[in-house]
Amino acid sequence: MNFDLMDTPTLQAVATADERVLVRDLDKRVEEALKLAEEQSEVAEAAEAQREAEARSDGLQAATRALNQEAKSLRQTVAAAVEKSIEGLIESAIATGTPDFGKSRELAALEHNDRMVSRALERLVEHLSPLAEIAKLRSEAHTLAARGRALERIAHDRAEKVLSQLREAVSEEMVLPVDMSKGVAGALLARAGEIKRRAVEISANADRLEHWYMDKTRKER
């Protein structure tokens, strides 16, 4: 290493002068840290809760589609049954002088099913689906926040490890400034900051949706 302390009193030590290698190594270590964060119990539990909330929301959406399809089919069936019931009443009155309401009883069962499907759809759209969406957003925000905290802990542990390795040099030279922002610890802290900002945004979206739902519910009472 050739340098003149009079001209360059501040030195920079790197593992290699090839910046592409440095970037690849940094990315690799960051990805390893991300996987390590996912294995921490706080993150794993939050992620499992998020998967359950997402499964619940997806299930409600599937139920809404199925019930909408059933409602459409029932409307068509009821319309046909009404015509058949009317024709049956007329024909029975002609044949026997007494209207036969047998077909009307079948129609009543169909209309009952149609009302039940409509009520189920109303509950899904007005209550269950909004509540499930709120729960999904909150679980996502919680997972992101936990992931951000885990990355911060890993970053601090890495920084402490690096600093402990530099103590001998510090004892020799008294002062040895270290820019952690350009290393793995800095990259992890930056990633953690981004993740926690997303968590705050998603949590705010959940708050807005919950306020809308509560206001709507109060007005309906």
- Give per-10-residue mean pLDDT for the chain (221 aa): 50 56 76 92 96 98 97 94 88 87 83 96 96 98 96 89 71 61 84 96 98 91 75
Q: What is the pLDDT of residue 160?
A: 84
Q: Which residues neighbour 34 within 8 Å (Cβ) at sequence distance 6 or greater? A: 151, 191
Integer-rounded Cα Rg, in Å, for the chain is 33
Distance CA 144, CA 191 (A): 11
Place of tokens 């997806």: 58
- Angle at CA of residue 161, ends 34 and 2, nearest 5°: 110
Distance CA 7, CA 90 (A): 111
End-to-end alpha carbon distance in the chain: 80
Amino acid present at 158: R
Q: Is 101 helix (H, G, I), strand (E, B) or coil?
A: coil
Q: What is the pLDDT of residue 158?
A: 85
Say if residues 159 and 187 touch (Cβ distance below 8 Å).
Answer: no
Distance CA 29, CA 34 (A): 9
Report the candidate in 49, 12, 29 with the shortest Cα–Cα distance to residue 144: 49
pTM of the model: 0.78
Q: What is the pLDDT of residue 19?
A: 60
Say if residues 67 and 124 touch (Cβ distance below 8 Å).
Answer: yes
Report the candidate in 211, 48, 153 with the shortest Cα–Cα distance to residue 56: 48
Distance CA 152, CA 214 (A): 36
Q: Which residues neighbour 142 within 8 Å (Cβ) at sequence distance 6 or greater? A: 46, 49, 50, 199
Distance CA 152, CA 145 (A): 11
